[in-house]
A and B are shown apart, each in its own frame.
Chain A
Amino acid sequence: MTESLQIQLKKGVLEMCVLALLSKGDNYAYDIASRMAEAVGMGEGTIYPLMRRMQNDGLVSTYLQESGSGPPRKYYKLTKAGTNALKAQIADWAAFEIAVRKILGDVT
């Protein structure tokens, strides 16, 4: 039960976390995936469908940049809509967290 709650919670905030990572600077998928895998234990394969959907939704855009080794890398960049979505999601998250904390405060 606890495990499934964790999965549901992480699912809900995955997009927000990726947006937050990108707000600190443009990045490529492998790096995003390994950061997310390390931080919240996200499956690495998850990142590509997620990035594709966020790109479809206009939250991120991509560009190619030469890398030191190998072919050029695809970098993801927040769009204006992505920045706005991040702001809105952070506000939602903060409000939700306060509400949950209030209720939990009565119990523990």
Chain B
Amino acid sequence: MNRANFIAQLRAGLSGLHPNDINDILADYESHFTDGVAAGRSEDDVAEALGEPARLARELRAEVGFKRWESDRSPGNFFGVILALIGLATIDIMFLLPVLGFMLMVFVAIALGCIGCVIGGVFLLVNLIPGGWPHPLENTALQSLLGVGLLSGGIGAGALLLMVLDWVARALIQYARLHFRLFKTANESL
């Protein structure tokens, strides 16, 4: 494989990342080729020593996803981490796949439960505003208590869920890094 081929495959494997990240990564490998050729090696030689570009791309992608989650813990970035882990898991550690799927389902279920509690609580409270709607409960005090309870319970459980989510994501990232930081591509020679 020559330089152009290697770079093209790497670029294809990285597609979907931020263009800045892609350019950054490609620049590293471009200069590696430049230095290698300057040292008297052939492009094929350098490419072979670097390893399979598709695999490198997968690992670099995961690292970029992890970094993004660490600097900004948004739900979108969490799904990025999950996707990156699934990408690694499908090839490298199959047993993680069902575990990740199950966890994702549990999280979504709990999150929906929290949202349900909040909506229910808000409904019960809004319902108390005089306006002629029939109250579901006879006792106004009980209904407001129940509403506040549901609302704060939902928010509290949601916050707890986010904390657990953060913890789980960190643990998974740690695990993935331990297993991938030295990358299996290198194992044949390492």
A70 and B28 contact, CB distance less than 8 A? no
Decide if B181 touches A45 in the complex (CB within 8 Å): no
The reply to whether B28 and A48 form a contact with Cβ atoms under 8 Å apart is yes
**For chain B residues 147-185, which have a beta carbon within 8 Å of chain A?**
177, 180-183, 185
Looking at A15, A44, A50, which has the most chain B CB atoms within 10 Å of its CB?
Answer: A44
Q: In the complex, which residues of chain A have a beta carbon less than 8 angstroms from the beta carbon of B188?
A: 43
Contact of B181 among A34, A40, A53 (CB under 8 A): A53
Complex Cα gap A14–B178 (Å): 12
Interface size of B in residues (CB-CB distance below 8 Å): 33
A46 to B60, CA, bound (A): 10
A28 contact set on B, CB distance < 8 A: 31, 35
A11 to B187 alpha-carbon distance, docked (Å): 9
A45 x B63 contact (CB < 8 A): no
Contact of A43 among B28, B38, B177, B183 (CB under 8 A): B183
Nearest-CB distance from B61 to chain A (Å)? 10
Residues in chain A near residue B137, CB distance under 8 A: none
Chain A residue numbers with a CB within 8 Å of B70 are 56
A52 interfacial by beta-carbon distance below 8 Å = yes
Partner of A74, one of B28, B51, B190: B28
A74 to B28, CA, bound (A): 8
Q: Are B189 and A53 in contact (CB under 8 A)?
A: no
Q: Cβ of B125 < 8 Å from any Cβ of A?
A: no
B182 touches A14 (CB 8 A): yes
Could you say which of A31, A52, A71 has the most chain B C-beta atoms within 10 Å of its C-beta?
A52
Q: Which of A14, A15, A33 contacts B32 (CB 8 A)?
A: A33
A42 at the binding interface (Cβ < 8 Å): yes
Within 8 Å of chain B (Cβ to Cβ): is A7? yes
Known contacts A14-B182, A30-B31, A53-B177; A45/B56 CB under 8 A = yes
Residues of B with C-beta under 8 A to A42: 186, 189-190
Q: Does A73 interact with chain B (Cβ within 8 Å)?
A: yes
Contact A43 B51 (CB under 8 A): yes
14 new A-B contacts, CB < 8 A, other than A28-B31, A28-B35, are: A11-B181, A29-B28, A29-B32, A30-B32, A33-B32, A41-B190, A43-B187, A43-B188, A44-B50, A45-B183, A49-B56, A52-B60, A53-B181, A74-B27
> Using a CB–CB distance below 8 Å, which chain A residues touch chain B?
7, 10-11, 14-15, 28-31, 33-34, 37, 40-46, 48-50, 52-53, 56, 69-71, 73-74
Tell me the B residues contacting A by CB distance below 8 Å.
25, 27-29, 31-32, 34-36, 38-39, 46, 49-51, 56, 59-60, 63, 66-67, 70, 177, 180-183, 185-190
